Structure 1
Amino acid sequence: MDERRRRSRDERERTLEGVAALAAKQGGVVSRAQAYAAGMTRGEVRAQLRARRWQRVWSRALCLHTGPVSELGRHWAAVFEGGDRAMLDGESSLVASGLTGYDTTVHRVSVPRGVKPLRGAGLDVRRTRRWSADDRAPSGVPRTRVPVAAVRAAMWACTDRQAALLLTMPVQQGLTTADHLGCALLAVRRDRRRGLMHDVVNDLLGGVRSLGEFDVARECRRRGLPEPDRQVVRRGRGGRYYLDVCWDAFHLVVEIDGIHHSWATSVVPDALRQNEVVLRDARVLRLPLLGLRVAADDFFDQVERGLRAGGWVDAA
């Protein structure tokens, strides 16, 4: 009898060690199904919870300690809530893929249509017709690939500003490229933000310098501001350079910044060019192309103030 008890105790310890080893790879969390598959009984799981050695995370996940659950553990727990085919999606997938400087308190998971969604505080399980196993990242916590996640994050964002940010940040941080974003966006046939997303991705591709200048001129006409001279040539110590938008008569220059202006190869030339313009007694305002999409009123209020400071008077 003692030998049988000893053997049973040893088996339980080995089972617990196996569960702990699995949890170590998943942020300290396992699913109930994983615990049962490893050899634990439902009674043993309940005993760990009653003894307050473990804690529940939502309804289908178990954390093997009672301290704060790690971010990685929350990611895995969210996937467990969605079921076998669930994947982290949207901004949750971006954060799990390494996106920094963006905080989210909601864990978003996508599942195929037909799966019954679960609810929980801080959990958002979404059924989507766009779900595809091909969108899954190759390793780590089950999640969508970065380009797909960025596009869906933009679609699900609360505001246009947030949508543009979620498309831009992964490219700026090197998690994906504008080309890959564009490919993922081709799969979106209908969405209320489809036009905005195309504009932002086009900006990221760096192929809309003239489009940005056209947009500035159009906005000036719409707001009753004077037409800019645009693409004015200047000469400096380094040779000729172009100013994107210029009002010579009012000593105002607006430089339109695409995504490439934030890259290291552009920072120094841009600074030198701006300094040359300022030394020639002109005000320089910077207008990111992203600003045209999400904060146009704020930027054009500054343009109007710059024109008035240079002597422009509204004829009206």
Structure 2
Amino acid sequence: MQREQAEARHWSIRRPARTGVARRGTAAELATAHGGVVHRQELAECGIDSDGIRNEVAAGRWFKLGRHTVAIGSPEIGLVAQWWRAVWESGAGARLDGASALCAHGMTGFRAQVIDVSLPARNRHHAVDGVRPHRLRQPPPAAKVGIPRVSVEMGMIHAGQWAVSDRQAALVICLPMQQRMTSTARLSLAWRGIGRSARRPFLDAVIADVTDGAHSLGELDFARMVRRVGLPAPTRQAIRCGADGRVYLDVSWDDVGLVVEIDGGHHALALNPVDDALRQNDRVIAGERVLRIPVIGLRLAPDQFLMQIRRMYDALRITQ
């Protein structure tokens, strides 16, 4: 029954729209799939030719937004319609990429200032207001359902490469992981396939951080960082006895009772915050001081976090 209804709807849309009322009804139904806009070719397939479009535009009911895009009802379009316009108007083979692809996949907490689109370098391309094109020799495959867009993993990598700052690059890598849009294995595999990247050292570190947590920060790396602010070398993976047995602390200075827990991206998922709180509370009850540092924070603001550790260490040493 549902299949018959879908087929009936399909053919009702595809029948030539001969009258103005039928034309407007058909266009409005087509536009619902694209946030309020429709492609000229799709209108033509339903019997709405250029004369019909011209008449509706002249009457102020439809609005041309480029060579291919027609807005139905209003020239003010939302984000979904802007994505479709960007893909249709940029050139053959265009697909959303970078942060725009991530938002189309459902990422929240970030709004791109421009719409990133990638397309084959050999194809003709067109400048579109608010759209940043990336002509690639071999663009990543595009989703076959819905708006053309690259995979979550390639969107993360490209968003990190094209970000305006390291802070923004870290954000667009962290958000999809925190929102469980992909897995650490899929992201790691996609990153290993990237040959060249202008931001490779930083992205190497950030992707390691979100896929491997505190373990990505090597012992020698952290020792070098704390030595820069005059702190002695700490103990890594110190063992304590907790309520549920032995626990391993990321970093500790046992001489003053200071513990530093370095939180990877996985610490925000599922029940990890509960486990972290229980472990931290146990250490405070035992008389130790605990500082928590997001591992990404050590990439983006190392001096500020290191000076916090130094101030706490000095304060505890005075009280000894």
Q: Identify the match of residue 205 of structure 2 among 184, 187, 199.
A: 199
In the alignment, is residue 66 of structure 1 matched against residue 61 of structure 2? no
Alignment CA distance shift 1:59-1:304 (3 Å): farther
Say whether the 8 Å CA contact 2:208–2:216 is kept in structure 1: no
Counterpart amino acid of residue 290 in structure 1: I
Q: Identify the match of residue 113 of structure 1 among 111, 116, 121.
A: 121
Aligned twin of 2:4: none
Aligned twin of 1:172: 178
Distance in structure 1 (CA, Å) of the matches to 2:179 and 2:217: 25
Q: Identify the match of residue 146 of structure 1 among 152, 167, 176.
A: 152
Alignment CA distance shift 1:167-1:87 (3 Å): same
Distance in structure 2 (CA, Å) of the matches to 1:297 and 1:81: 45
Distance in structure 2 (CA, Å) of the matches to 1:125 and 1:31: 20
In the alignment, is residue 131 of structure 1 matched against residue 139 of structure 2? yes
Aligned twin of 2:192: 186
Distance in structure 2 (CA, Å) of the matches to 1:304 and 1:181: 35
Counterpart amino acid of residue 127 in structure 2: R
Say whether the 8 Å CA contact 1:212–1:289 is kept in structure 2: no
Identity within the alignment, %: 39
Distance in structure 2 (CA, Å) of the matches to 1:29 and 1:299: 49
TM-superposed CA distance for 1:55, in Å, is 2.2
In the alignment, is residue 50 of structure 1 matched against residue 62 of structure 2? no
Deviations 1:135-190 (A, max 9, x none): 21231111111111111111111111211221121121111112111222123111
Q: Identify the match of residue 283 of structure 1 among 281, 284, 289.
A: 289
Number of residue pairs the alignment of both structures matches: 303
Say whether the 8 Å CA contact 1:213–1:245 is kept in structure 2: no
Counterpart amino acid of residue 311 in structure 2: R
TM-superposed CA distance for 1:279, in Å, is 2.0
Q: Which runs of 5+ in 2 are unaligned?
A: 1-15
Aligned twin of 2:165: 159
**What TM-score do you get using the length of structure 1 for normalisation?**
0.87
**What TM-score do you get using the length of structure 2 for normalisation?**
0.86
- Tell me, what secondary structure is at the counterpart of 2:235? coil
Distance in structure 2 (CA, Å) of the matches to 1:304 and 1:70: 49
Moved more, 114-123 or 103-112: 114-123
Say whether the 8 Å CA contact 2:36–2:72 is kept in structure 1: yes
Aligned twin of 1:261: 267
Q: Identify the match of residue 243 of structure 1 among 249, 252, 272.
A: 249
Alignment CA distance shift 1:272-1:283 (3 Å): same
Moved more, 95-104 or 296-305: 296-305
Distance in structure 2 (CA, Å) of the matches to 1:116 and 1:35: 23
Counterpart amino acid of residue 130 in structure 1: Q
Moved more, 218-227 or 137-146: 218-227
Say whether the 8 Å CA contact 1:255–1:284 is kept in structure 2: yes
TM-superposed CA distance for 1:37, in Å, is 3.6
Moved more, 269-278 or 31-40: 31-40
Distance in structure 2 (CA, Å) of the matches to 1:212 and 1:256: 12
Counterpart amino acid of residue 63 in structure 1: A
Distance in structure 2 (CA, Å) of the matches to 1:207 and 1:175: 17
Distance in structure 1 (CA, Å) of the matches to 2:304 and 2:191: 28
Deviations 1:257-281 (A, max 9, x none): 1122112232222111111212233
Aligned twin of 2:46: 38
Q: Identify the match of residue 37 of structure 2 among 16, 29, 41.
A: 29
Say whether the 8 Å CA contact 2:229–2:310 is kept in structure 1: no
Alignment CA distance shift 1:120-1:56 (3 Å): same
TM-superposed CA distance for 1:237, in Å, is 2.7
What CA RMSD, in Å, does the superposition of the two structures yield over aligned residues?
2.2
Say whether the 8 Å CA contact 1:182–1:201 is kept in structure 2: yes
Alignment CA distance shift 1:264-1:244 (3 Å): same
TM-superposed CA distance for 1:224, in Å, is 2.5
- Tell me, what secondary structure is at the counterpart of 2:317? coil
Aligned twin of 1:103: 111
Alignment CA distance shift 1:102-1:58 (3 Å): farther
Distance in structure 1 (CA, Å) of the matches to 2:309 and 2:130: 42
Counterpart amino acid of residue 182 in structure 2: T
Distance in structure 1 (CA, Å) of the matches to 2:40 and 2:290: 61
